[in-house]
Amino acid sequence: MRTPRSVVFAGSLTALALAAPAFAPAPRAAAPKFYSDDPVWREVDTQDASGVEPREMNLLFENLENLFATPGDKVRGVRAQNINTVDEVPDSSWFTNRAGHRRLTVEEVVRGANTGDGPAPGQWTVVSAKSDGVTPGFTVRDTKGDIWFIKFDPPGWRGMATGSEVLVTKIFWALGYHVPENHVSHLRRENLVIDDKASIRPPGARQRRLTEDDIEALLRRADKDEDGSYRVVASKALPGKPLGGFHFHNVRSDDPNDFIRHEHRRELRGYRAFAAWTQHVDAKATNTLDTLVTEDGHAFVRHHLIDFGSTLGSSATNPREPFEGAEHVVEPIEAGKNIISFGFRIAPWRTVPLYRSREIGRIWASHEDWDPDEWKSRTPNSAHLRARHDDLFWAASKMRVFDDAMIKAIVETAEWHDPRSREAITRFLIERRDIILRKYLVEANPVHAPALAADGTLTFENLAVASGVAKAPEGYRIQWHRFDNAAQSATPIAETTVGDTRAAAPEGLPSGAGQYVLAQISAVGGPNEAWAEPAHAYFRREASGWKLVGFERQPEGEGASPLVIRRPPIRR
């Protein structure tokens, strides 16, 4: 039965009259803190993006801009803006939750993005070739009609770039990024035929038809096996229309769904920790790719990370330079200091022991003094530069899923023959992972997965302790509040201190459906002062019990929701 309009209006008036005193003294938020569908785990691109056009990125401009300007939001300390209310990154056209969100088997990670076994055997038709850029490569069509990008190892470095690319692609897939399907494959010269329309534009020449001589010239820049074949990485063309890369700052101007500045996207900020882990020093816009995808008649832009050939010990065309990962390619202030030092200001990377091998290139052999905070990509990355402790904690919480056995299995996908290569890279990844976990799981309040049972028992996990990277604190302090969702204000109920990650709720917890409780959880006597800064856990009473609807590990900072704590009146 419909409610008469006049009754609705009268009801509203009554509500307003009752609420009016509350409006006046306290700041009022424009919207409630939590909606009924919080936390959201999937963000849908609702707008038609079919009008987005391909664009070419200028690598030189990108490098110069990132080296000498500081593109992106000038305000620092801004909280990530694409996270849901429980401090996590929802699935989106940017990211798909995998590690740390659901159980991943080793087999699943080893398979990664792959949907098959690589290019179909038989003749590959070269439809274009790339002779400029960092590495030579072909675009081929296999006998099934699938398009693949073929990249090689540099002469004398069999497996270095191809193995690194395949291995690191698995890692980034498991972490949740959209990546291409990459396979170690093999090609023989006689299996390459040139498409009638294939073209090439060599440096200093015009675009022209691709010839057999071009193929030969490109293959001479590739490592050749003794049997005459070439080990390659075959990267399957991503579905959709390629649109060019995305910047790590600002938004894509022609994408109607792209309203969050990229430097404030958590998955792009947390990428910093993953890049440090895998020595992905080329984490730049030209190693990304947007594609225009149409699903169920709806067009949207999907965002990918691509080109992992310059990772681990590989610099794609050469072994990794020792400075990479320790310095940007240009650092004017440091350079000034180094000029006047006459070379006696010796950078730590100059003395770090290195492991060198033809199969994997050059990696740090020891991580005794390695600090992920000190890690640097070749050129600054706008999103990396804005990573906060909570962003890096998020990243570390993903990385902890990669146990030693999983890492070992992933390394096998590089198909390196020498067991010493596999062992060196496995050790490299394990050592860096451990250091990153020890740092980033500890530098933020490590409370994780809080839950409030129907009987009022609060449980949570200390992720740093659970990961074995920190000792348990002496105890935990929990400040309980009633939370007014509409006004975004909290009223203290009680404070309890417990020695474990389990606490009983105090008397007076609201119990009505739709009511909210805020538990501010901090550690007492923890190893890092950040542990004493409370994380905020919000629960909403529903028919089935309490539901976690909000979690803020690091609530402060620009972009964070304001919270008003209302002190109860003092009784005399």
Partner 1 sequence: MPAPSRRPQPVRHVLALCLLAGALAVPCGPAAAQETRAEEFEQKQEARAAEVAAYYPSGAERVISSIEDFALGVAPIGFYPWFGNIYPTGWLAFGAGYRNVYADTGSVNIVGGWSLKNFKMAEATLAAPELARGTVKLQAHAKWVDAPSVPFYGLSSESSPDDKAFYFYREASVGGRADIEPVEWFSLGAHVDYLDYTNDSTDKDDSVERLFAPAGAPALLVDPAYVRTGVSAAIDWREPPGYSGSGGLYRAEFTNYAQRNDGPYSFRQFEAEVVQLIPILRANWVIALRGMVTTTDTDAGDEVPYFLMPSLGGSRNLRGYSSFRYRDRHRIIWSAEYRWTPARFLDMAIFYDAGKVTSRRSDLDFDGLKSSYGIGMRFLSQQGTALRIELARSKESNLRLIWTAGAAF
93-132 footprint of partner 1 as x/- string (CB under 8 A): ---------------------------------------x
CA–CA distance from 111 to each of 167, 233, 379 (Å)? 11, 15, 31
Considering the rule CB under 8 A, would residue 68 count as an interface residue with partner 1?
no
- What is the closest distance, in whole angstroms, from the C-beta atom of residue 22 to partner 1 in the complex? 10
Stretch that binds partner 1, among 104-112, 346-354, 442-450, 519-527 (CB under 8 A): 346-354
- What is the closest distance, in whole angstroms, from the C-beta atom of residue 172 to partner 1 in the complex? 26
Options 143, 211, 457, 497; binder of partner 1; rule CB under 8 A: 211
Output the CA angle 495-497-502, nearest 5 degrees. Answer: 110
- What is the closest distance, in whole angstroms, from the C-beta atom of residue 159 to partner 1 in the complex? 21
What gap in Å lies between CA 547 and CA 544, rounded to an integer? 8
Nearer to partner 1, 161 or 387 (CB): 161
- What is the closest distance, in whole angstroms, from the C-beta atom of residue 539 to partner 1 in the complex? 17
Nearer to partner 1, 10 or 453 (CB): 10
- What is the closest distance, in whole angstroms, from the C-beta atom of residue 190 to partner 1 in the complex? 18
Query: In 3-state terms, the chain is what percent helix, strand and coil (to 5)?
Result: 25, 25, 50
Considering the rule CB under 8 A, would residue 290 count as an interface residue with partner 1?
no
Considering the rule CB under 8 A, would residue 71 count as an interface residue with partner 1?
no
Please state at what angle helix 266-278 crosses helix 160-175, rounded to 10 degrees. Answer: 140
Q: Which residues pair with 564 in a beta bridge?
A: 489
Options 75, 335, 453, 494; binder of partner 1; rule CB under 8 A: 335
Considering the rule CB under 8 A, would residue 60 count as an interface residue with partner 1?
yes
Note whether 391 and 79 are within 8 A (CB).
no
Options 38, 181, 390, 391; binder of partner 1; rule CB under 8 A: 38
Nearer to partner 1, 196 or 213 (CB): 213
Token readout for 377 is 């990509």
Options 76, 188, 189, 208; binder of partner 1; rule CB under 8 A: 208
131-170 footprint of partner 1 as x/- string (CB under 8 A): -x--------------------------------------
- State whether residue 273 is helix, strand or coil: helix
Stretch that binds partner 1, among 29-37, 396-404, 419-427, 509-517 (CB under 8 A): 29-37
Torsion of CA 467, 468, 474, 476, to 10 degrees: 0
Which among 87, 85, 34 is positioned nearest to 542, based on CA atoms?
Answer: 34
Stretch that binds partner 1, among 280-288, 322-330, 388-396, 440-448 (CB under 8 A): 322-330
Number of H helices, E strands in the chain: 12, 21
- Residues 241-270 touching partner 1, rule: CB under 8 A, are 251-259
Size of the site for partner 1 (CB under 8 A): 77
Considering the rule CB under 8 A, would residue 323 count as an interface residue with partner 1?
yes
Considering the rule CB under 8 A, would residue 369 count as an interface residue with partner 1?
no
Nearer to partner 1, 51 or 121 (CB): 51
Considering the rule CB under 8 A, would residue 51 count as an interface residue with partner 1?
yes
CA–CA distance from 394 to each of 73, 397, 401, 524, 529 (Å)? 21, 5, 12, 22, 18
CA–CA distance from 87 to each of 116, 135, 207, 445 (Å)? 35, 39, 49, 13
Note whether 177 and 99 are within 8 A (CB).
no
CA–CA distance from 24 to each of 14, 18, 19, 492 (Å)? 16, 12, 9, 21
